[in-house]
Amino acid sequence: MVHPEGTKSPPGLVEHRPGAPARIVVLVSGSGTNLQALIDAENAEKAQHTDEAQHAGKAQQAAKAEPAGSPAFGATIVAVGADRTGIQGLDRAEQAGIPTFALRVKDFATREDWDRALRDKVAEYEPDLVVSAGFMKLLGPDFLAAFDGRVINTHPALSPSFPGMHGPADALAYGVKVTGCTVFFVAGGVDDGPVVAQAAVPVEDGDDEASLHERIKTAERALLVDVVGRLARHGWTIDNRKVTFQ
């Protein structure tokens, strides 16, 4: 296969090193809380750069190392897409000055036509990475072929446990003491792609689905921002199921 950089990789191996900053397209279907976390991370980096520019005359500021645990984000959101109109996720993007688009499945003759239209629209923005952030549609083979090894998603459980839409409820029903969240590269199945990173969330006595899911979502937002930043700054390799930062 030939990657955007023009280099060939053997079967089962994907390598990608984004430009600086990495170009991100985010796909949403609802309130866009994960999107907001990414917007906030990008804005925090811009604010940091503005502050540094104001102190550019100070040699010690110019030489100052990046604070541990708070690296520059390294990514810019170039577009936000949705599968429906009138959602808060699109409002968040528009308020941040980010281009938006919406492609509804019902406006296309077939699901395959919608998938190809989504592929073509996302491709217009030349993304290094596509982030499915609460996007409630499965991406089809045409879309995934176009962005092979460059689409990530989140799941509210520690994959491969509890796939599907009811991860927190399934974890409670099974009686596990620890669950969590996963960021993974989309591979065409249901929450079964190569794992990029995971965060554990303890199950507390008295938890119900809502309380457990809320704590998982908090961990998920932090994990997603960290993962997107690391992928943007360092690039990545996927060797079959093993994901490493370059």
Residue among 56, 74, 94, 79 at smallest CA distance from 17:
74
Q: Is 155 part of the annotated catalytic residue set?
A: yes
Tokens representing 242 are: 């093993």
Find the helix packing angle between 167-174 and 209-234, rounded to 10°. 120
| Residues 128/133/135/141 CA torsion (nearest 10 deg) | 30
Burial 205-223 (b: 16+ CB within 10 A, else e): eebeeeebbebbbebbbeb
Catalytic entry in 3, 16, 49, 155 = 155
In whole angstroms, what is the distance from residue 140 CA to residue 112 CA? 7
SS3 state of residue 232:
helix
- Rounded (5°) CA angle 131-24-219: 45
Q: What are phi and psi of 84, to 5 degrees?
A: -155, 160
Alpha-helix residue ranges (DSSP H) falling in 103-185: 111-123, 141-146, 167-174
Neighbour-count burial of 50, counting CB atoms closer than 10 A to its CB (0-12 exposed, 13-18 middle, 19+ buried)? exposed
Active site members:
155
